[in-house]
Structure 1
């Protein structure tokens, strides 16, 4: 009976639309994005308060992104005449600016909902418009219903909707609006990948800085292993490395000083610069020091010293434990950080950036993931090398059980779960190794994207690997997806100072700053010779750069009740092409140590 009523209603709706005028049809709300079900782990808790304020970000199509992508490939391809001729901030903004028609139509829509377009908050390229509205107005504008959703395991709450609509005439003029359908990974929109392995509970270092074992890795160990020892940066005033921080992960200066005293004495009086984004903080109360933030600044800084380090602390860690007045936090840290960094001048923008945070790809709506990835491409076009840790759950994404690998598309299909932004083809994803004679560490995130196709620069390597494994895991992953990671570095037993104690820590979030610091030194050598930095690394890496890496040929990344992918000669979705050899990289680039 219910099904019959649905058919009758659908038939009536179709008749009504057919009878409507063309102008009315174009203003008919059509679903822009929807979720087939509430994401796993979340339950609908209650209706969102009508007057709760939401910051909506409206992404307009970037009219010449194809030209930007073409330029990105040309300036990043060692075989192209434009190699190294990175674009300026202004050139990038011109290519991503929306078409005037899109601006006009979106502005008219906003005017119809009472906004003064002269006061709108816009990105420099005008491809993003940000508005702050109460829930009831957002519901009217997007023909939707916002609810408070509760995370079953943590009790955290989040204001989101399972679908939203736009007038038909706006469909081609709006890429994405968030926060709407993005719930984020597991219980947080972003998640670190580090984990404390060992707690000595003793202040200070327990052994010499260069005492290296499989269970004790220091800066000196990495300098020896990756052949950077003895290199003194030549242009630290021109070359910089950036480190992202989220989730109220605070990088502590007292811990850094103690770390340098123990492991990098020459750097003991140096610090990192702190930039606070969208309400970000960096509280120096020692009890609030973050293990992830400390790991990142201590190793990125320790390996690259005296290269200036910039630590960005971005506010917003949705969702959070609510109080009776404010049920949720609707910030989107990805977008807030990108807004800030894309607005930096050439002098302010670091040549190398490392990030140790990410989501399961499937928890990020496809349109939003694509848009974020395209924003990252803008940084690459400007000459920035972006590193992202590949995750710590093997082929199982960021699912902490590692064996419950189910899609959230309504089909409940068993599947490997790729990670994002590591799956974005415009970043260099870093997997993990273990032991001084490196093998793949069993938690190294890796696999194939369900959102992004295999890019041309890696098709040969991906096809070769898939040919080797044949039908193994057929149906569990996307054979035509972007393969990751691209490279790897040690990710176990790093010694850090955390809240005044010398402890061990591991994760691919250790691997990413370690690899990034080595490349930052390469950029220093390039800039000292009057040459441009490497920029987007992958075209160089897949064409020639792989020859300067330490190929990791054993180990695997189990998950989802499987043994995962296996490392082997050449590229593999566990360790990529392997770990860095600084001396070989310099030789390949015709540079001297």
Structure 2
């Protein structure tokens, strides 16, 4: 990590656990459009998982080098090993060191990773040797509101159910749906969810904490506000849904990759929608070469399986927390196989509602030295523009940039000042306001959950939206794109927070709020005709 200081060598006898990812038995097919018949999880594993012979070979070679096989999963292509650092360094011909950084100490590696020659074409990734932070939470200060009333008509801010009404979500409770949430820290606090649901006036959904790589699921640390924000938003809109919450142990690459894989290939809870509110700017020096493509590959498979993954576009405007003067977009929202969700500022008073781009102060959060916050958005420097965005003519503000994937696809309310607007949440028994694109992403996930439930009633038990993103760019009514027809166009505001500039809202699709905020009933009507 930039700015780190070497403290010294690691202890050779320390035992680490790593994930070794092997090649697919067949490459994923190109996916330029919406798959009409999505693959089941079993079909995806059978067609594109790992070969048992590859798993057996890797196990044979690496155990001969002193590592211990802990488990293997053909669907995710992940093989877990443990062993002392001395054996790991020898096996992969690298050196592990202890580093100090302003964000805490971590274990890092010096030099390339090398695999035994017998496995040269089999192993595609090794994760867990280092545990540096590669993603960050959208952390905001949680402020209690002592005067917050119990009545939905007299409080400040929005209950998720009120936003569902303002955005004309189809009626429903999400019954029968599974809406997954990915977290990397924090924990689930059942008592807070009970207080929240009682205040909102809805039933308590089934929340299922899922531990990945031995992660605790009840940590009351500084990320718990993020976790409860995500859960309470989905619960407030879909109180009869099942909500599996996948907890990764930390902010490392192994944690990210294994948690994404677990959620996508979860055969028990089978989420059709996932929400992710974590990430970092694409060009961050903390990403290893190939990691963005490895995670994107998992999202590609999820799209083939008909899973919509709603990802927060970031809370620091066009700068995205980089601080280098250039504009950046946040990954994983920049993946072409996810639904990137930006943020708006929705206000309601006796004269009606107004909605503009979310931007406060200089567009960057106080947590990174700014004076406000703003929706992420812009043009990817890593992923080429996908076929479904071929008609989007938005160029990067950075010089000599590629024609990359444009972010976001859609948006919803994100602004909060902790006093007069935001999402009403409960933490440690007390009500307060929170927000950011961390809130707009799960709100969209809950919308899709309601739409899936409605579609199942009319189209059959296996019908669902599937991989929504490309459909938003398809003409549906009078040649108008679905996203334009089923969204409230946001035309006021910008997300400029980088020295070089940023992006402005305008008529139609833009790189600040995408197609705009949802008109849920119109989205359901159009999707019912397509599916």
Question: How far did 1:284 drift?
Answer: 8.2
Q: Is the 8 A contact 1:440 1:574 kept in 2?
A: yes
Q: 2:191 aligns with which of 238, 241, 254?
A: 254
Could you tell me which residue of structure 2 aligns to residue 570 of structure 1? 508
Question: How far did 1:43 drift?
Answer: 2.3
Matched, 1:61 2:23: yes
Q: Is the 8 A contact 1:150 1:157 kept in 2?
A: yes
In the TM superposition, 1:36-435 aligns within 5 A as: 39-67=1-29, 69-70=30-31, 73=32, 76-77=34-35, 83=36, 85-98=37-50, 106-107=58-59, 109-110=61-62, 112-114=64-66, 119=69, 121-125=71-75, 127-151=77-101, 153-166=102-115, 170-180=119-129, 183-185=132-134, 190-196=135-141, 198-200=143-145, 202=146, 205-206=148-149, 208-211=151-154, 216-228=157-169, 231-233=171-173, 236-237=175-176, 239-247=177-185, 249-262=186-199, 264-267=200-203, 269-283=204-218, 290-314=224-248, 316-318=249-251, 332-345=254-267, 348-361=269-282, 362=284, 363-399=286-322, 404-405=323-324, 415-435=326-346
Question: How far did 1:588 drift?
Answer: 1.3
Question: How far did 1:387 drift?
Answer: 0.6
Q: What CA deviation, in whole Å up to 9, does each residue of 1:382-418 have, x standing for no partner?
A: 222111111111122244xxxx22xxxxxxxx53333
Matched, 1:480 2:425: no
Q: What CA deviation, in whole Å up to 9, does each residue of 1:304-349 have, x standing for no partner?
A: 22223233333x125xxxxxxxxxxx7822133234334422x621
Larger Rg: 1
Q: Are the structure 2 counterparts of residues 365 and 570 from structure 1 closer, same or farther at C-alpha, using a change threshold of 3 Å?
A: farther
SS for the counterpart of 2:28 is: helix
Q: 1:446 aligns with which of 373, 377, 398?
A: 377
CA RMSD of aligned residues (A): 2.8
Q: Which has the higher helix share?
A: 1
Q: Is the 8 A contact 2:333 2:340 kept in 1?
A: yes
Structure 2: distance between partners of 1:562 and 1:126: 41
Question: How far did 1:378 drift?
Answer: 2.3
SS for the counterpart of 1:45 is: strand
SS for the counterpart of 2:290 is: helix
Structure 1: distance between partners of 2:506 and 2:16: 48
Structure 1: distance between partners of 2:434 and 2:453: 28
Matched, 1:539 2:474: no
Range 274-283 or range 290-299, more displaced? 274-283
**What's the TM-score, normalizing by structure 2?**
0.84
Question: How far did 1:168 drift?
Answer: 5.9
Structure 2: distance between partners of 1:501 and 1:338: 31
Could you tell me which residue of structure 2 aligns to residue 321 of structure 1? none
Question: How far did 1:41 drift?
Answer: 2.9
Q: Is the 8 A contact 1:162 1:180 kept in 2?
A: no
Question: How far did 1:446 drift?
Answer: 1.5
Question: How far did 1:174 drift?
Answer: 2.4
SS for the counterpart of 1:164 is: coil
Q: Are the structure 2 counterparts of residues 372 and 182 from structure 1 closer, same or farther at C-alpha, using a change threshold of 3 Å?
A: farther
Could you tell me which residue of structure 1 aligns to residue 389 of structure 2? 458
Q: Is the 8 A contact 2:9 2:98 kept in 1?
A: yes
Q: Is the 8 A contact 1:515 1:579 kept in 2?
A: no
Structure 1: distance between partners of 2:103 and 2:244: 33
Q: Is the 8 A contact 2:205 2:242 kept in 1?
A: no
Q: Is the 8 A contact 1:55 1:331 kept in 2?
A: no
Q: What CA deviation, in whole Å up to 9, does each residue of 1:422-459 have, x standing for no partner?
A: 11111111111112322111211122223322111112
Residue segments in structure 2 that go unaligned for 5+ positions in a row: 348-353, 360-373, 416-421, 476-481
**What's the TM-score, normalizing by structure 1?**
0.76
Question: How far did 1:243 drift?
Answer: 1.8
Structure 2: distance between partners of 1:113 and 1:430: 45
Q: Is the 8 A contact 1:162 1:181 kept in 2?
A: no
**Number of aligned residue pairs:** 492
SS for the counterpart of 1:176 is: strand
Structure 1: distance between partners of 2:119 and 2:195: 56
Structure 2: distance between partners of 1:217 and 1:562: 35
Q: What CA deviation, in whole Å up to 9, does each residue of 1:270-289 have, x standing for no partner?
A: 5523333332334387x888
Q: Is the 8 A contact 2:19 2:254 kept in 1?
A: no
Structure 1: distance between partners of 2:495 and 2:414: 13
Could you tell me which residue of structure 1 aligns to residue 497 of structure 2? 559
Question: How far did 1:124 drift?
Answer: 2.3
Question: How far did 1:205 drift?
Answer: 3.0
Q: Are the structure 2 counterparts of residues 217 and 122 from structure 1 closer, same or farther at C-alpha, using a change threshold of 3 Å?
A: same
Question: How far did 1:375 drift?
Answer: 1.5
Q: 2:445 aligns with which of 487, 497, 516?
A: 516
Q: What CA deviation, in whole Å up to 9, does each residue of 1:83-108 have, x standing for no partner?
A: 1x211222211232346885576456
